[in-house]
Chains A and B, each alone.
Chain A
C-alpha cells in the first residue's frame, strides 16, 4: 500500500510557512532596531519597551503621550512608539533579568532596580539622577469599606482577630514590601500599639497582620481589585491606588496610619537593552522628562502621587486631597534598603519569621 507523497509536500509547505510567519512575527516582536552585531543605526521610528509596576498605568499612559507629542515637536515629527507592560514590580524585574528586553523600567522600589543592576543589565549609577533616581512618592494607607464600618485607625487594628486583610505577595509585588516595611517602621517608631524600638513587638504585629491575610495577590493592582470585589475588610495599599479607584467612581476609602514610610519609586534606563535596540538617546530623554516639572504635575494630578521631597510629601496637598502625615519617614531612617532587606527579609529576618509564625 502506498502512502501519499503529497502528505510530505503539505508538511514541507506548512513548515516553511510556519517558519516564515514566525520570523515575521518575531521581527516585530522584539522591537530590535539594531542592524545585527556591531554598528548601531537608530531607526526612524524608535520603539521603546517600558516596564512598570502594576499601579501607575493611568499616569504613565498620560506621561508617555505627552512625551511623544513633545518629542515629535522637537524632532521634526519623529514618532516614538512605546510598548508598555505593567505587572508586579518584582516580577517585572525578574522577567527582565530572565530575558524580557525592557528599555526603561519604572518600578515600585529601589531594590527591584538594583536586582537588574546586579544582573549586569543596568551599568550606570542610576541614583545620580535628580532625587536619587526617584520620580514619584506615595504613602501606605489602609483601604477600607465605605464609612470605615470597622473603625480601623492603625496597623494594630487590622492585626486584631477576625479581620480579613488583603496585601500582595512580597515575592512578586513591590507594594507588598512597602507595606511590610511600613508596619515595621511604624511599630519601631512607637505607633500601632508597640513601644518605640521594640523589635519583638514589631515582629508580633507583623505576625498578627499576616495571620489575617485572606489572599496574597501577585500585584498591588490585583490586591486592591480583589478587595473591591468584596473580599476582606481592609487592603493595605498605596495612597495613589485608593485615589485612582475613587476617581474611577469606586467607594474605596483611605485611612491614613499616623506613621508611614515614604514610598519612593525609581525609574531608570536598562543600558544593555537600550544599546541593543539602539534607542539610548530617546530612552535617556524620557527618563530625564520624568524628573521635569511637567511630569511632576502629571504624577500629582493624574497619578495622585506625592512630590519627591519628603518634607513636601509630609505636608500633604489640600487641593488633591492628600492629608498631611504625622510621622513620615524614609527607608534611610533604618539604614536604607540594604539594611532593611537584611533585617526583615533575610532567612532569619523579622518578616520571614513573622510570616512563618502566621501560617
Chain B
C-alpha cells in the first residue's frame, strides 16, 4: 500500500487506491465548500443585488448628495496615503535592513502595529492627540488648520492604517539584494544618492509599486478609523465606504450593493495584480 501510494506523484501514472482518492476528495470538498459558502455566496449576493436592475440602481445611488465626492475623496486620499507611505516605507525598509542599531526589533514591531491595532482604536488615538480640544489641535486650529474632522484627518488615518504595506514588500527585496554592487559603485566613486538611484532603486521599484498598490487597495475600503476621525461631512469628508454604510442605514441595500461592487472590483483587481507581482518577484529573487 505504502509503495503504491508513494509512486503516485503524477496522478496520471497510476490510479491511486480508493481510500486515498476518497481522502483527497473529502479534503478538497471541505476546502471548496468552505470557500464557496463563505466567499462566493456573499459576493454573488452583492453583485446580483447591485446590478439586478442593470445600471439604473448604480445611477440612482450616485445621484445622492455627496456620492461622487465620496468616491473622489476615497480615491484621492488613498492614493496620497499610498504615495506618502511609498516614500516613508522605502526609507523605513532601508533603515531596517541596512542600518544596525539597538532597538531595530522594536522599530520593526512599531511598523507592524497598524496590522494589529483595531482600526477604530487608530481613529480614537488620533482624535485623542490631535482633536480640537487638545493642545496640538488647538494650536493648529488657531492658524486655521483643522486636524481632525477634516480631509486632512482622512489622509492621516489612511497613512497610519496603510503604513506597513510598502515596508513589508520592500524589506525582503532589500534583504536579498547583494550589497556588493552598492559597494562597487561607491568604490568607483559614485555618491550615496547616485548609488541608490542606479543600483538599489531598479531592484526595489517593483516592490515599492506592489506595496503602494496594496496600500491603495486597502485604503479604498477603510472604515473603522475614518468613521471616527472624519466627521462624515457630505461632499467634504464622507468617504465611499461610509457612503455604502449610509445607504445601508437608509435601507437602500440595492444601491449600497451597486456602489460596493464598484469599490471592491477595483480593490480586488489591484490585490490580484500585486499578488502575482509579489509572487513572481519572489521566484525571480530565488533564481
The chain A residues found within 8 Å of chain B, CB to CB, are: 1-5, 7-8, 11, 88, 91, 94, 98, 169, 171-172, 213-218, 226, 229-231, 359
Q: Return the chain A residue nearest B146 by Cβ.
A: A230
A172 touches which one: B26, B233, B249 (CB < 8 A)? B249
The answer to whether A169 and B250 touch across the interface, beta carbons within 8 angstroms, is: yes
The answer to whether A215 and B231 touch across the interface, beta carbons within 8 angstroms, is: yes
The answer to whether A8 and B231 touch across the interface, beta carbons within 8 angstroms, is: no
Q: Return the chain B residue nearest A12 by Cβ.
A: B30
Q: List chain B residues, Cβ under 8 A from A172.
A: 249-250
21 CB contacts below 8 A, A to B, read A1-B5, A1-B20, A2-B20, A3-B20, A3-B23, A4-B23, A7-B27, A8-B23, A8-B26, A91-B249, A98-B251, A171-B251, A172-B250, A214-B234, A216-B234, A226-B231, A226-B232, A229-B132, A230-B146, A231-B149, A231-B231
Asked whether A2 and B232 contact (CB < 8 A) given A94-B251, A218-B246, A230-B149, the answer is no
**What's the Cα separation between A2 and B26 when bound, in Å?**
12
Q: List chain A residues, Cβ under 8 A from B9.
A: 1
Q: Could you mark each residue 18-32 of chain B with 1 if its beta carbon is under 8 Å from any beta carbon of chain A, else 0?
A: 001001101100100
The answer to whether B249 and A3 touch across the interface, beta carbons within 8 angstroms, is: no
Q: Which of B26, B149, B251 has the most CB of A within 10 A?
A: B251
Asked whether A2 and B231 contact (CB < 8 A) given A218-B246, A218-B249, A359-B65, the answer is no
**What's the Cα separation between A8 and B20 when bound, in Å?**
13
Q: List chain A residues, Cβ under 8 A from B23.
A: 2-5, 8
**What's the Cα separation between A171 and B246 when bound, in Å?**
10
B148 at the interface (CB under 8 A from A): yes
Q: Return the chain B residue nearest A8 by Cβ.
A: B26
Given A4-B23, A230-B149, 19 additional A-B pairs, CB 8 A: A1-B5, A1-B6, A1-B8, A3-B23, A3-B27, A7-B27, A98-B251, A171-B250, A172-B249, A214-B233, A214-B234, A215-B233, A216-B234, A217-B232, A218-B249, A226-B231, A226-B232, A230-B132, A230-B141
**What's the Cα separation between A7 and B5 when bound, in Å?**
18
Q: Which of A8, A94, A231, A359 has the most CB of B within 10 A?
A: A231
Q: List chain B residues, Cβ under 8 A from A229.
A: 131-132, 148-149, 231
Q: Return the chain B residue nearest A169 by Cβ.
A: B250
B232 touches which one: A7, A215, A359 (CB < 8 A)? A215
Q: Could you mark each residue 229-243 of chain B with 1 if its beta carbon is under 8 Å from any beta carbon of chain A, else 0?
A: 001111010100000
Which DSSP category, helix, strand, loop or mixed, fits chain A's interface?
A: loop
Classify chain B: how many residues form its interface, as a range: 20 to 34
Asked whether A88 and B27 contact (CB < 8 A) given A213-B234, A217-B232, A230-B146, the answer is no
The answer to whether B24 and A3 touch across the interface, beta carbons within 8 angstroms, is: yes
Q: Return the chain B residue nearest A214 by Cβ.
A: B233
Asked whether A11 and B30 contact (CB < 8 A) given A231-B149, A231-B231, the answer is yes
The answer to whether A88 and B231 touch across the interface, beta carbons within 8 angstroms, is: no
**What's the Cα separation between A39 and B103 when bound, in Å?**
68
Q: Return the chain B residue nearest A222 by Cβ.
A: B232
Q: Return the chain B residue nearest A215 by Cβ.
A: B233
Q: List chain A residues, Cβ under 8 A from B232.
A: 215, 217, 226
Min CB gap A276→B, angstroms: 23
B27 touches which one: A8, A91, A216, A218 (CB < 8 A)? A8
**What's the Cα separation between A269 and B228 when bound, in Å?**
34
Min CB gap A98→B, angstroms: 8
**What's the Cα separation between A285 and B50 when bound, in Å?**
45
**What's the Cα separation between A347 and B143 when bound, in Å?**
46
Q: List chain B residues, Cβ under 8 A from A3.
A: 20, 23-24, 27
Q: List chain A residues, Cβ under 8 A from B5.
A: 1-2
**What's the Cα separation between A177 and B58 when bound, in Å?**
27
Q: List chain A residues, Cβ under 8 A from B6.
A: 1
**What's the Cα separation between A226 and B228 when bound, in Å?**
11
Q: What 9 A-B pairs come out closest when comparing CB atoms?
A: A215-B233, A171-B250, A230-B132, A3-B23, A229-B149, A2-B20, A3-B27, A94-B251, A8-B26
Q: Return the chain A residue nearest B23 by Cβ.
A: A3
**What's the Cα separation between A218 and B227 when bound, in Å?**
12
Chain B 3-18 interface residues, beta-carbon cutoff 8 Å to A? 5-6, 8-9
Q: Return the chain A residue nearest B137 by Cβ.
A: A230
**What's the Cα separation between A4 and B246 when bound, in Å?**
47
The answer to whether A8 and B30 touch across the interface, beta carbons within 8 angstroms, is: yes
Min CB gap B283→A, angstroms: 23
Min CB gap A312→B, angstroms: 36
Min CB gap A347→B, angstroms: 14
**What's the Cα separation between A309 and B5 when bound, in Å?**
87
Min CB gap A291→B, angstroms: 31
**What's the Cα separation between A217 and B230 when bound, in Å?**
12
Q: List chain A residues, Cβ under 8 A from B249.
A: 88, 91, 172, 218
**What's the Cα separation between A333 and B257 when bound, in Å?**
41
Min CB gap B87→A, angstroms: 31
Min CB gap B57→A, angstroms: 17
**What's the Cα separation between A33 and B272 when bound, in Å?**
49
Q: List chain B residues, Cβ under 8 A from A213.
A: 234
